[in-house]
Structure 1
Amino acid sequence: MEMAEKLKLLGDKTRLTILGLLKDKEWCVCDLVEILNMSQPGVSQHLRKLKAQGVVNETRRGQWVYYSLNVEDKPYIQVVLNELPDTQTLLSLLKKNYIEAACD
Structure 2
Amino acid sequence: MEELRIMAEQFKMLGDSSRLTILALLREKELCVCEIVDIMGMSQPNISQHLRKLRSAGLVTETRKGQWMYYSLSLNDKPHIEQALSHLPSLSNTISAMKPGCCE
Could you say whether these structures have the same fold, taking a TM-score greater than 0.5 normalized by the shorter chain as the test? yes
Q: TM-score, normalised by structure 1?
A: 0.89
2:21 corresponds to which of 17, 40, 57: 17
Same amino acid, percent of matched pairs: 52
- Runs of 5+ in structure 2 lacking a partner? none
RMSD: 1.7
How far 1:10 sits from its partner (Å)? 0.3
**Among candidates 19, 28, 33, match of residue 29 of structure 1:** 33
Structure 1 spans left out of the alignment, 5+ residues: none
Q: When the two structures are aligned, how many residues end up with a matched partner?
A: 100
Q: TM-score, normalised by structure 2?
A: 0.89
The structure 1 segments of at least 4 consecutive aligned residues displaced by more than 4 Å after TM superposition are none
Q: After the TM superposition, which residues 1-104 of structure 1 pair with which residues of structure 2 at under 5 Å, given as runs?
A: 1-89=5-93, 91=94, 97-104=97-104
> Which of the two has higher C-alpha Rg?
2
Between the aligned partners of 1:102 and 1:81, the Cα distance in structure 2 is 28
Quick one: distance in 2 between partners of 1:86 and 1:56? Answer: 18
SS of residue in 2 equivalent to 1:54: coil
